[in-house]
């Protein structure tokens, strides 16, 4: 399942394929990116030096930096990509630069940093959970239908959003036990306090 996901709006573009070779992947990506870019407002042209500084700012702190083209158009989009070999092909990267798109790669083994992975898992559950598809075409049709249904009422994504706050509230309601990872839903009474209370009661009865 090839997917473009816009976290701010929650909109997802999906295409299911039997094979995901570079020829198939790059062709579809270019088509979708071209459509998305047409919908964006035009960027004000900057002087070449300022424009290059703007592009380079998104590479600060990276241990491996993509070599920027000599002539760069105004920066129009950031594209978060998994660190796959096919995403680094010079032809594709140069095409992105020429269209004002800055590719940013997730860490190796860090695909969870790409929110498209999250929306794909959601769509797979919605489309296939409890079902018994018989053919690949049936699976593909159901996944694309699930994406269309999602886009009718999409949910925006954000780091540390409502779900993270809910998990934090849940953790706050638990009490750690003995410094381990185990927790209780109510505090365990301190044995020393019980002894002190018993001693104070004994003193009062004398």
The CATH number of the domain holding residue 63 is 3.30.420.10
Closest CA to 82 of 58, 104, 59: 104
Same domain, residue pair 75 and 132? yes
Count of domains forming the chain = 2
Give me the domain span that covers residue 169: 162-205
Question: How does pLDDT run across 97-152, given as a tens digit for each residue?
Answer: 999 999 998 887 776 677 888 889 999 999 988 888 899 999 999 999 999 999 99
CA distance 27 to 121: 24
pLDDT of 179: 59
Residues of the chain with pLDDT > 90, as a percent, come to 44
Same domain, residue pair 111 and 188? no
Tokens of 171: 């953790």
Asked whether residue 157 is assigned to any structural domain, the reply reads no
Low pLDDT (below 70) residues in the chain = 111-112, 160-164, 177-182, 185-206
Same domain, residue pair 128 and 50? yes
Q: Is residue 201 exposed (0-12), middle (13-18) or buried (19+ Cβ within 10 Å)?
A: exposed
CA distance 22 to 89: 9
pLDDT of 177: 65
Same domain, residue pair 6 and 96? yes
Same domain, residue pair 141 and 199? no
How far CA 199 is from CA of 59, 74, 190, 205, in Å, comes to 66, 77, 15, 10
Same domain, residue pair 172 and 81? no
Same domain, residue pair 200 and 104? no
Same domain, residue pair 28 and 93? yes
């Amino acid at each position: 399942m090839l997917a473009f996901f816009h976290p701010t709006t929650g909109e997802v573009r999906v295409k299911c394929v039997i094979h995901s070779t570079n020829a198939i992947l790059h062709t579809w990506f270019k088509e979708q990116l071209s459509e998305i870019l047409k919908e964006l407002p035009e960027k004000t042209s900057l002087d070449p030096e300022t424009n290059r500084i703007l592009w380079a700012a998104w590479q600060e702190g990276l241990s491996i930096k993509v070599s920027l083209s000599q002539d760069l158009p105004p920066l129009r989009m950031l594209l978060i990509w998994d660190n796959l070999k096919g995403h680094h092909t010079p032809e594709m990267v140069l095409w992105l630069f020429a269209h004002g798109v800055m590719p940013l790669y997730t860490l190796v083994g860090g695909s969870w940093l790409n929110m498209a992975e999250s929306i794909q898992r959601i769509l797979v559950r919605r489309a296939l959970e409890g079902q018994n598809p018989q053919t690949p075409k049936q699976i593909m049709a159901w996944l694309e239908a699930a994406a269309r249904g999602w886009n009718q009422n999409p949910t925006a994504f954000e780091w540390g959003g409502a779900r993270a706050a809910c998990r934090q509230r849940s953790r706050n309601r638990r009490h750690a036990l003995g410094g381990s990872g185990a927790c209780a839903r109510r505090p365990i009474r301190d044995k020393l306090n019980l002894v002190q209370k018993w001693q104070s009661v004994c003193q009062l009865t004398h």
